[in-house]
Amino acid sequence: MKRNFLGILLLTFLFVGTSLAQSKQVKVKVDGLSCPFCAYGLEKKFKDVDGIEDIKIDIKEGTLSFLLEEGKIFPEEQIRKKVKQAGFTPKEITYPETSVKNEKGKIHP
């Protein structure tokens, strides 16, 4: 019984560890996220993208972040396009280990 419990515990740690190792965080700095319609609009445009999860909007920081699954490709150009579809212009994208400065300002809101 005790051996079974330890086995399950070990498997759990392995699973969690593997999951963390497989996901990489992407962070996008966006202006004008103070409005709830803007923030959730950005969330809406990203939620259906295949291979990303745990989308978070930090209104105070003005950032969108999400986890990109290992092996999934989501080029910066497409990220910028999605952000623009939501009505914004991305400023700085951290993806996954590089940091690229983009145009400043916003289209709307």
Partner 1 sequence: MKKGKSIRSCILAIAVILFFGCNPSKKWNYLNEISLQDITPVGITQLNGHLWISDAKNNRLVSIDSNGQIVKVHDGFQRPMHISEENNKIYVPEFLTDSIKIINGDNVEVLELTEVPDAPAAVDVKDNITVVADFYNHRIILQHHKQTVIIGEEGHIQGELYYPTDVALYENKIFVADAYNNRIQIFDLQGNSLQVIGDKNNIQVAMGLTVNSNELFVVDFDGNRLLIYDFDGNLKQVLNKGLNNPSDVVLVRQRLYIVNYGSNSISVYGKT
Binding stretches for partner 1 (CB under 8 A): 34-37, 40-41, 43-44, 47, 87, 108-109
Phi, psi of 37 (to 5 degrees): -65, -35
Tell me how far, at minimum, the Cβ of 78 lies from partner 1, in Å: 18
Q: Which is nearer to partner 1, 48 or 103 (CB)?
A: 48
Q: Shortest gap between Cβ of 35 and partner 1 (angstroms)?
A: 6
Give 82 or 95: the residue with its C-beta nearer to partner 1.
82
**Residue 22, SS3 per DSSP:** helix
- Closest contact distance (angstroms) between CB of 79 and partner 1 is 18
10 Å CB burial of residue 79 (0-12, 13-18, 19+) is buried
Q: Count other C-beta atoms under 10 Å from residue 67's C-beta.
A: 19
Q: What are phi and psi of 41, to 5 degrees?
A: -65, -40
Closer by beta carbon to partner 1, 49 or else 92? 49
